[in-house]
Amino acid sequence: MPADMSPSDRAKFLAARRAVDYVEDGMRVGLGTGSTAAWMVRCLGDLVREEGLRVTGVPTSRRTADLARQVGIKVVTLEEAKWLDLTIDGADEYDPNLHLIKGGGGALLHEKIVATASDQMVVIADISKQVDKLGAFPLPVEVIPFGWQTTKMLLEETLINMDVMGRTCTLRLDMDKPYVTDEGNYILDLHLRRIGKPGQLALVLNQIPGVVENGLFIDICDVVVIGHQDGRVEVRDINNGTVKNEQIDIVEDENLFQDISD
């Protein structure tokens, strides 16, 4: 492992390296989006190139698709794959029930579709993503551009009756223009600070006209793999009710750490 890797990147890499152990030969795998997921794609590509692992990837964004092709992973659409054995993705927050907030990278719609079309979802993260209650990270809500200001107003009115601490709603920007998702939609970030009933909120938000999807992933994640800076990896399996701590020994691989854009 490169000596100049930051402590945060080291933890993310360790989680990603452990998570690809869930991938078996011949699997169809959902590939997440974001900095942690990018490490996973690199690790998976290394197994494809060096060990001949046969795997078909379904990316959740264009940039993940580009990276997967660069590292040698066969890429297909979800329509072609139809159903997936496994999805590996990152998260912006996870709570003790393995409920998630996702969408910081702007791919929440594709990520939720791919995750729910999988037999299993494995989330990779560092310990900074762990929270007792979701909500410190802004909750992304994908909305159609038409009438987005009205949708924003409806969201803010709805939040008055929800178990949250904050109700500020902001349009996500890319420089001085609205950020546009791969589906051509906008994202409204809800600054809630604490979400008391995430399951209820997820259902209510999706009833608002103009809302396409929200970044609450409820009862979707099966396993969280948490990387630590000291080389430990913690694996939490919600279905088995187990928590395991492991030590990961890494040998530096020049191919894995080459400068691949994501």
pLDDT in tens, 22-43: 999 999 999 999 999 999 999 9
Tell me how far the alpha carbon of residue 127 is from its chain's centroid: 15
Can you give the residue ranges of every domain in the chain? Answer: 7-130+219-247, 139-213
Q: What percent of the chain has pLDDT over 90?
A: 89
Residue, of 11 and 251, whose pLDDT is higher? 11
Average pLDDT value for the chain: 93
pLDDT for 202 equals 98
pLDDT of residue 6: 85
What dotted CATH number matches 7-130+219-247? 3.40.50.1360
pLDDT digits (tens, 9 = 90+) for 202-260: 999 999 999 999 999 999 999 999 999 888 999 999 999 999 999 887 665 545 544 44
**pTM of this structure:** 0.92
Q: What are phi and psi of 19, to 5 degrees?
A: -65, -35
Half-sphere exposure of 167 (CA within 13 A, CB side): 12
The matching CATH number, chosen from 3.30.70.260, 3.40.50.300, 2.40.50.100, 3.30.200.20, for 139-213 is 3.30.70.260
Residue (of 117, 116, 126, 143) closest to 209 by Cα position? 143
Residue with the bigger pLDDT between 251 and 44: it is: 44
**Which of the residues are catalytic?**
111
